Structure 1
Amino acid sequence: MKYVVLIYGNPDSRAAWEGMSDDQRAAGLAHYRRLNDELDASGERIVSERLAFPELAKRVSGGITTDGPFAEAKEFLAGFYLLDCDIEDRALEIAAKLPEASFGAVEVRPVMGLAGPEL
């Protein structure tokens, strides 16, 4: 079953990241590299990406393109993992390993696919 892990940021988490020393940021990125290596070795990671800040988003609607940000919320989608796990509990276990799970918000959702849910 495929699951998407949505990683959310907010102004506080953004400020915390920007306030880190170079060594602290390097350690944080190394954590993600180790997790990615672990998930690649197990075959569970399909893809993961960090997303640009909402200010760099563009929206196309009715043939008109406008600049972001668009949501009137403090939280923003900061990145994602697309996983292929045998059971939901494994996807939740992986999500809990993300630093944002301890100080931000991480959401796990089953991927429906075009044919509908794989339930």
Structure 2
Amino acid sequence: MQYAILIYETPDDFAARDDHRKDEYWAPWFAYSQAASEAGKTVGGACLQGPDTGTTLKNGVVEDGPYADTREQLGGFFLIEAGTLDEAMDWAARCPAAANGAVEVRPVQPTNRA
């Protein structure tokens, strides 16, 4: 089963990606990504640019970001292969964002094509 690990980060996290703290910010992410890859769990994923770069199309109206009124914004995702939700949750708990942001685990909807 595939699971999306959705990573929500604070404005400070987004700022740390590029400022004097960038090495401190990125080191745990590289370690996490490498661990998931070496365990054969990684299917895909990406780090997203900050919420101010987002554009939303809602009911035919285009809105430039940031557009959500929340403390955390979607910062990226991992797509993993896991045998159970508990295993996926274990990988989510190891995600660096779990320390000060939020990490959502969501099963990927299988598609049946005829």
Q: TM-score, normalising length from structure 2?
A: 0.79
Match of 1:77 in 2: 74
Match of 2:9 in 1: 9
Long gaps (5+) in structure 1: none
**Deviation at 1:40?**
1.6
Amino acid at match of 2:7: I
Identity %: 32
1:42 & 1:19 partners in 2: Cα distance? 29
Long gaps (5+) in structure 2: none
Match of 2:52 in 1: 55
Q: How many residue pairs align between the two structures?
A: 112
Match of 2:39 in 1: 42
Are residues 1:101 and 2:98 paired?
yes
Q: TM-score, normalising length from structure 1?
A: 0.77
Q: 1:36 to 1:12 in 2, by over 3 A?
A: closer
Amino acid at match of 1:8: Y
